[in-house]
Amino acid sequence: MIELKNVSKNFGDVKAVDNICLAIRNNTVMGLLGTNGAGKSTLLRMMAGVLKPDDGEILIDEIPVWNNPQAKGKFFYISDDQYYFPNSTPKEFGSFYKTYYPDFDEERFHLLLDKIDLPADRKIRTFSKGMKKQLSILIGICAETDYLFCDETFDGLDPVMRQAIKAIFIQEMERRSFTPVIASHNLRELEDISDHIGLLHKGGVLLSQDLEDLKCNLTKIQCVLPEELDEKIQNALLVLKMQRHGKLLTMTVRGETEKVVSWLNTLNPIYCEAVPLTLEEIFISETEVAGYDIKSLIS
């Protein structure tokens, strides 16, 4: 388990991470989502022991991360711009990481290289951005660590390769204790793989919740009701967003779907239906509540 206890990090006058408390359970896929500049990469670097928190502490399996080789042996960190030796090949790079991660599975590494058609003896500097991303993910998986920290992991991968990497993640979780932590601003990357979501905004955590619970506690409703009932609805329900197009009223409401729909049906609507929310819609709703409103940005 990973625990972040009152973690903060400043860069001069900029508060990049502000008093974050977060727990990441084992054998789940943790998605760290956030607005631009929310502190995702800074948080991941502190979890990897690259940056030292100004305040608070980060524990992996109850072991402090900072300046602690025992804790660092439990995870593999893939940065947004992974470094490679200029003239190295994937085969050489795998051998290099074997010296730092004794459990590194070289046989599985070469098997996966063949499966996704990455040449083991070609210079990495000749690889495309997507090929370099694939290589870094395979090395991270084959390091056989309990945790894998990924910063914008799927950026640069084509749709087929993204699905292939996600399938490998799932296989690893079925095979052993494996907990990927994925920081991204691309919600669609994480929606079909994340078990738990941490939503960051302005250096803090807006929410941390299982994805299914998160979807259950927010409801998108489309109904046909007279406009004069809008105020009554807003007073009775916790409405995060309300839009009206003629007689059609569309709302995002916090609360259980069945209870929300049941109450609205007491108003005798001509039509009332709950519509599934995407992770993108949840993200927009929660950040708008926190003051990150698209209307204020373009007005």
Tell me the torsion sign for CA atoms 273, 276, 281, 283: positive
Structural domain including 254 reads 217-298
* 48 and 129 housed in the same domain: yes
* 72 and 88 housed in the same domain: yes
Give dist(CA 279, CA 260) in Å, integer.
Answer: 20
The domain that holds 285 is classified in CATH as: 3.30.70
Q: Are strands 55-60 and 63-64 parallel, antiparallel or unpaired?
A: antiparallel
Neighbouring C-alpha atoms within 13 Å toward the C-beta of 225: 24
* 119 and 69 housed in the same domain: yes
The answer for 252, left when phi > 0, alpha when psi is -120 to 50, beta otherwise, is beta
* 53 and 111 housed in the same domain: yes
Per-residue pLDDT at 298: 32
Per-residue pLDDT at 189: 72
* 95 and 133 housed in the same domain: yes
Q: Are strands 2-11 and 147-151 parallel, antiparallel or unpaired?
A: unpaired
The domain that holds 177 is classified in CATH as: 3.40.50.300
Tokens representing residue 23 in the block: 């727990």
Give dist(CA 132, CA 142) in Å, integer.
Answer: 15
Q: How far is CA 204 from CA 161, 198, 200, 242, 286, in A?
A: 32, 10, 6, 26, 13
Per-residue pLDDT of the chain (299 residues; tens, 9 = 90+): 999 999 999 998 888 999 999 999 999 999 888 777 788 899 999 999 999 999 999 999 999 999 999 999 999 999 988 888 878 999 999 999 999 999 999 999 999 999 888 999 999 999 988 889 899 999 999 999 999 999 987 777 788 888 888 888 888 999 889 999 998 877 777 777 788 888 887 788 877 878 777 777 788 899 999 999 999 999 999 888 888 988 899 988 888 888 999 999 999 999 999 887 777 777 776 666 555 444 443 33
The answer for 94, left when phi > 0, alpha when psi is -120 to 50, beta otherwise, is alpha
Neighbouring C-alpha atoms within 13 Å toward the C-beta of 45: 16
* 162 and 263 housed in the same domain: no
Domains held by the chain: number: 2
The secondary structure of residue 263, as a DSSP letter, is H
